[in-house]
Amino acid sequence: MCQRASALYLGASSTYISRAMHGFSYRNGSLYCEDVELAALAGEYGTPLYVYSAATILDHYRRLDTALAGVDHEVAYAVKANSNLAVLRLLAVEGAGFDIVSGGELFRVIQAGGDPAHCTFAGVGKTRREIVYALEQGIYSFNVESEEELRYINEVAGELAVIAPVAVRVNPNVDAKTHKYISTGKSENKFGVDITDIAGLYARASKELPNIRLRGLQMHIGSQLTSIAPFIEAVDKVAPLARQLKECHGIEFWSIGGGIGIIYKEALASGSAHWWENQAEPERPLTIEQYGAELVPRLKDLGLKILVEPGRFIVGNAGVLLTRCLYAKQGAAKTFRIVDAGMNDLIRPALYEGHHEIVPLLQPATDARIVMDVVGPICESGDFFCQNRELPDFKPGDYIALMSAGAYGFAMASNYNSRPLPAEVLVDGATACVVRQRQSLRDLIAGEC
């Protein structure tokens, strides 16, 4: 399945990491992922097709690791963002830990060669089967979301005659100022335990729950945060509690969660190391260096191991979804381009009105643009990738790329409308590997009778 894309190789050396490139750029008018031409991949493997840049994933991981160098830390990649085995493998070899939210994600990490002892298990609704599996595999910690769950894990651990390592998730009641569906750190959200109840809960647990080891404290206030202020507010608010829990209960780690936002707009601004760095307002979020510079001084004297759980930051801008235009339709009120990817392949625009840049794989000869809706084949009006956007005109048969689709893209794809899941390709320099085959029609009905 892995092949050297020699026909596509331009002979340029793969210096993406040292040049800190994001891995997607035009060469002679054709869009490349590292040293592989995307139009050639689309032609060879068909569309819709997810393509990921290994160099970009590793670069983002390393940049975050470096930004936190001033404090004892571990980067636990949030598997939910992109759980392809090849992506997990890349990060496992690099030394990442993993933040998981299901038995299925733990299974994937193990299959990819990851170490359960570096896995934290989050989520408000862990089942008995998942708790048993995680205990058997020896995970680093359960991130517990309620007293009821804590008591249940204690019970299950007792039955297995093991001690369950846990951290309770604190809900600090901080506004992450992000989309309401991905904001998690406010009192009205279902996540975590109110900050005012945590100390009492740890005290009760240490007295009443003999099969629990209070190993840490966890928080996560939301996803796609584009400003440093909510991170600072949450860390400042919770740090005294973390210190107190260390003194009273000997906790050893504090996970400050994920949530670092990425740039979705102007994804191909030229000449920039990371495309956001040369951006004018409005979308100019925190850089990872700023994240480290602001948070490390606040964390380093606590004497705790600091965990971070980034998903989107690692993989978001490292992936694209390639799709082909099927029809150009002139409606009574609008101009449509109908493409072969749908909301089942990438649901972010439909679900969060998420913005993904749309660029042609082959740059057009003129700068002419038209206002259009790019839509998929699904039988819903919510099945769009953009509305009323000015884009270079493209015609049936042309390929386009939906940028920044590496996080919560394939991971949220479904078989809705009985559409087979797309294939996934991982590019590393001049090598392109199919890391997940496109589903067949037979796959669609597997397990049914």
Name which position in 75, 78, 346, 378 contacts ligand LLP (CB under 6 A).
78
C-alpha to C-alpha distance for 378 and 380, rounded to whole angstroms: 6
Site for ligand LLP contains 83 (CB under 6 A): no
Instruction: Write the interaction track for ligand LLP spanning residues 189-228; mark x where CB under 6 A is met and - where it is not.
Output: -------------------------------x--xx----
Of 99 and 340, the one with the shorter C-beta distance to ligand LLP is 99
**Any contact of residue 257 with ligand LLP (CB under 6 A)?**
yes
d(CA 65, CA 97): 12
Annotated catalytic residue: which of 2, 33, 248, 379? 379
Please tell me whether residue 343 binds ligand LLP under the rule CB under 6 A. Answer: no
CB of 268 to ligand LLP, least distance (A): 20
Long-range contacts from 324-331, C-beta under 8 angstroms, 24+ separation: 324/42, 324/47, 324/397, 324/398, 324/399, 324/400, 325/394, 325/395, 325/396, 325/397, 325/398, 325/399, 325/400, 326/377, 326/396, 327/396, 328/395, 328/396
Q: Does 118 bind ligand LLP (CB under 6 A)?
A: no
Instruction: Map residue 274 onto helix, strand or coil.
Output: coil
**Cβ of residue 38: shortest distance to ligand LLP, in angstroms?**
22
Q: How far is the CB of 80 from ligand LLP (least distance, A)?
A: 6
Helices (H) and strands (E) in the chain, counts: 13, 22
Which residues, 6+ apart, have CB-to-CB distance to 109 below 8 Å? 79, 88, 92, 98, 100, 116, 119
SS3 (DSSP) at 244: helix
CB of 31 to ligand LLP, least distance (A): 23
Q: Is 379 a residue of the active site?
A: yes
**Residue among 170 and 359 whose Cβ is closer to ligand LLP:** 170
Nearest CA to 357 among 332, 342, 374?
374
- Per CB under 6 A, 309 contacts ligand LLP: yes
Minimum distance, C-beta of residue 412 to ligand LLP, in the bound complex (Å): 6
Q: Which is nearer to ligand LLP, 48 or 311 (CB)?
A: 311
Assess 372 for contact with ligand LLP (CB under 6 A).
no
Give the residue from 51, 48, 49, 46 showing the smallest Cα distance to 35: 51
Instruction: Report the interface residues with ligand LLP, using CB under 6 A.
Output: 78, 81, 99, 122, 182, 220, 223-224, 257-260, 309-313, 348, 352, 407-408
